[in-house]
Amino acid sequence: MERAWPMLWAFRLTSLKETPEEFIREIRMASAAKLYELGKLSSGRAAELAGISRVSFLQALGRYNVPIFDITYEELENDLQNA
């Protein structure tokens, strides 16, 4: 019964192109990506939330326009000069 409510919710919100399971998987990934972007979750914890490996999570971040590294141009330039 615990999983019935999310499935019902997903069934009502999903498009005809996605199954409820696919919709839930997408919501989990989008949520994990946003929480990672905000610095609320590490990449490992975000991957756990998304239900995928850390490497797969990091590779998928591009679909959500979330950078893997949060560094400014100036920080990068400084790092390159100090290398």
Burial grade of 48 (CB within 10 A; 0-12, 13-18, 19 or more): middle
- Evaluate if residue 13 carries a pLDDT over 70: no
User: pLDDT band at 1, cuts 50/70/90?
Assistant: very low
pTM value surpassing 0.85: no
Domain count, the chain: 1
Check if the beta carbon of residue 46 is closer than 8 Å to that of residue 39.
Answer: no
- Evaluate if residue 26 carries a pLDDT over 80: yes
DSSP 39-76: TSS-HHHHHHHHTS-HHHHHHHGGGGT--SS---HHHH
Residues 31-75: tens digit of each pLDDT: 999 999 999 999 999 999 999 999 999 999 999 999 998 788 888
Domain span at residue 75 reads 4-82
Mean pLDDT for 8-30 is 75
